[in-house]
Amino acid sequence: MKFHVIVGLSRNGKSATGNTILGREAFISDYGWPLVTHTTELKSTILDDGRALNVIDTPGLFNVYACSELIDKEIVKSIGMAKDGLHAILMVFSISHRFTREDEYGINHIKTLFGDRIVDYMIIVYTGGDKVEARKKPFEEYIRDPPEPLENLIHLCKNRVVLFNNETKDKVKRQEQVNLLISLVNSIVASNDGKPFSIQGRSLSVTTNGEGDRS
């Protein structure tokens, strides 16, 4: 059973990405609000090979309308929801948004919450694939010379980067990008000897009280 936690700044398309992975509108997704996801939520689906896939959506990091301490608590709660640990962490950015100091702070804060080892389980997901396709410009050109903090993260993640088009209605395209993501998850599982990420033994400033999956 695979568990994912989706993190990132608000309005980067976290919830929409979760919906694409699940193949349905499981999470509320609305770019019109600064902070749509207020609490950590877990939704599940069954893959074609029969495996269960659990996706955990979390509030956006460091939104000016929310208390960062409460957001931290919700994000850490995702660990409690994944009783066997997390097999992949999705760090979501938007191809349409310029990388800012707030993004850099978000990366560093995730490491503070979970420890530097978190990058061994991280996949960078860029949203906005519809805009890339419309401009007919290769995705690689968008990420060729990223800012140094993002370049370092990509290196630490061993170049695990995927582009998502959450707007497409083409079922084949949607499935192809999900399949690519699943292949990256499988590579993470293999490189970590099948051991999921957990915070056992780590002292955190927030309390996990999530309700675990009981399947």
CATH for 55:
3.40.50.300
- Asked if residue 212 is part of any domain, the answer here is no
- Asked if residue 199 is part of any domain, the answer here is no
- Asked if residue 213 is part of any domain, the answer here is no
- Asked if residue 201 is part of any domain, the answer here is no
Q: What is the pLDDT of residues 112-169, one digit of tens each?
A: 888 899 999 999 999 999 999 898 888 888 888 899 999 999 999 999 999 999 999 9
Q: Which residues contact 139 (CB under 8 A, 6 or more apart)?
A: 95, 126, 129, 132, 163
Distance CA 215, CA 213 (A): 6
- Asked if residue 200 is part of any domain, the answer here is no
Domain limits at 46?
A: 2-191
- Asked if residue 29 is part of any domain, the answer here is yes
- Count the domains in the chain: 1
The pLDDT of residue 199:
67
Per-residue buried b or exposed e for 106-136, using 16+ beta carbons within 10 Å of the residue's own CB: bbebbbebbeeebbebbbbbbbbbeebeeee
Locate 125 and state its tokens.
């997901």
